[in-house]
Amino acid sequence: MKKDILVIHTGGTISMFEDKTGAVKPGNENPLSSHTMGLSNLANIIIKEPFNLPSPHITMTEMLQIKKLILDEINQKDIDGIVITHGTDTLEETAYFLDLTLGLNIPIVVTGAMRSSNEVGSDGLYNLITSIRVAACDDAREKGVLVVLNDEIHTAKNVTKTHTSNVSTFQSPQYGPIGIVTKQGIFFHNQPTLKENYKIDQITKQVALLKAHAGMDSLLFYAIKELNFDGLVVEALGQGNLPPATVEGIKALIDVNIPVIIVSRCFNGIAQDVYGYDGGGKYLREMGAIFSNGLNGQKARIKLLIGLSHTNNMKFIEDMFH
Ligand code: ASP
């Protein structure tokens, strides 16, 4: 029997076209809308288009809107799987947000495209078809939110955009995809382990993200305190170290209970408190900085926003990152 698949179009290159000047932009009509109904051989498709935005325009408001739309639809209809089309620039953030907050067992797939609808080699329709096939596959249940592009299935937690323009841009550094899609089937070779779910209806907090560099000092850390941010994620150096001149700034934040999450600016590996010198990981941890378990900066920021919206218990927030 054909599955009922909810397809939510939110914008991005997958919904754009290239004009005569070579500019890629949204048009009056979403090119996917005309195609999607033609996919009824794959599943019974229900289409929703809450907005049509390039993904650099996506904020927490739109992420919450997508979550609410999904929960409303699930409550009204029997839906077997969900596909969300999205711009690729912030796709991993929306995917991870939904992964942490939806708590559904059915397959949920986020997809996009690197080439717009009328460009040679456009990958949009292909990725949409592949994603609908994954969303209709029983083996894709209970796996959290998945990201499907270029015949690969990734977890929302590990996937990241690694290339500005290549169609194989989405990769899960260190872990690889958990499945592949071929003409004949959908094959999973790994099972995601940890399932997390946080109940939130709104995001009221502000979390900043800073990238460390040689010679960094405390100025921006003081600014973050002055600007009343509620939390900070730092993409630290290597295993999780910072220049000594940042230490006073970090301390100023921790002293007023602003959580400081340490991730690494290396895109492989896990930030750990290994080094005991001034500004080294052990030093930062003793000061009260929280080390994140392998998340990249943008996802640690989403997680901290969710954590701060869920509770003000710092111990709970620290545990979220372990
Ligand atoms: N800038 C586009 C966006 O994120 C890129 C894409 O969709 O591939 O909306």
Report pLDDT digits (tens) over 206-216: 999 999 999 99
- The amino acid at 52: N
* Residue spans of beta strands (DSSP E) within the chain: 4-9, 16-18, 24-26, 44-48, 81-85, 108-111, 145-149, 152-155, 160-161, 170-171, 179-181, 186-188, 207-211, 231-236, 260-264, 290-291
Tokens of 27: 């048009």
The strand order across the sheet containing 231-236 reads 207-211, 231-236, 260-264, 290-291
Q: Across residues 105-117, what is the average pLDDT?
A: 96
Spatial CB neighbours of 322, under 8 Å, sequence gap ≥ 6: 293
Other residues' Cβ atoms within 10 Å of the Cβ of residue 174: 11
Tell me which amino acid residue 26 is.
P
pLDDT at position 37 is 66
Name the residue among 192, 156, 199 with its Cα closest to residue 306: 199
**Closest ligand 1 atom number to CA of residue 16:** 7
What is the whole-number distance in angstroms between the Cα of residue 162 and the centre of ligand 1? 13
Q: How far is the CA of 170 from the centre of ligand 1 (A)?
A: 13
CA–centroid distance, 92 to ligand 1, in Å, is 12
For residues 74-79, average pLDDT? 96
Per-residue pLDDT of 226-259, as tens digits, reads 999 999 999 999 999 999 999 999 999 999 999 9
Atom of ligand 1 nearest to the CA of 86: 7
CB 264 within 8 A of CB 235: yes
Domains of the chain, start order: 4-188 (3.40.50.1170), 207-321 (3.40.50.40)
- Give 160's strand partners: 171
- Distance between first and last Cα of the chain: 42
pLDDT digits (tens, 9 = 90+) for 134-150: 999 999 999 999 999 99
Q: Is 78 helix (H, G, I), strand (E, B) or coil?
A: coil
What are the residue numbers of the active site? Answer: 13
> Of the residues 53, 88, 147, which should be mutated to test ligand 1's pocket, given the most ligand atoms within 8 Å of the CB?
88
* Structure tokens, 93: 């953030």
Q: Which of 276, 277, 272, 320 is nearest to 300 (CA)?
A: 320
Give the C-alpha separation, 234 to 212, whole Å.
7
Which tens digit of pLDDT belongs to each residue from 18-76? 998 999 999 888 888 777 767 888 999 999 999 999 999 999 999 999 999 999 999 99
Q: pLDDT tens digits for 170-221?
A: 999 999 999 999 999 999 999 998 789 999 999 999 999 999 999 999 999 9
Whether the CB of 89 sits within 6 Å of ligand 1: yes
Nearest CA to ligand 1 atom 3: 87
Decide if 180 contacts 148 (C-beta within 8 A).
no
Establish whether residue 26 lines the binding site of ligand 1, counting it when its CB lies within 6 angstroms of any ligand atom.
no
Confirm or reject: Cβ of 119 under 6 Å from ligand 1.
Answer: no
In sequence order, what are the beta bridge partners of 16?
A: 26
Instruction: Give distance in angstroms: CA of 119 to centre of ligand 1.
Output: 14
> CA angle 311-316-320, nearest 5°?
105
Q: Best substitution site from 14, 55, 117, 161 to test ligand 1's pocket, by max atoms within 8 Å of Cβ?
A: 55
Ligand 1 centre to CA of 87 (Å) is: 4
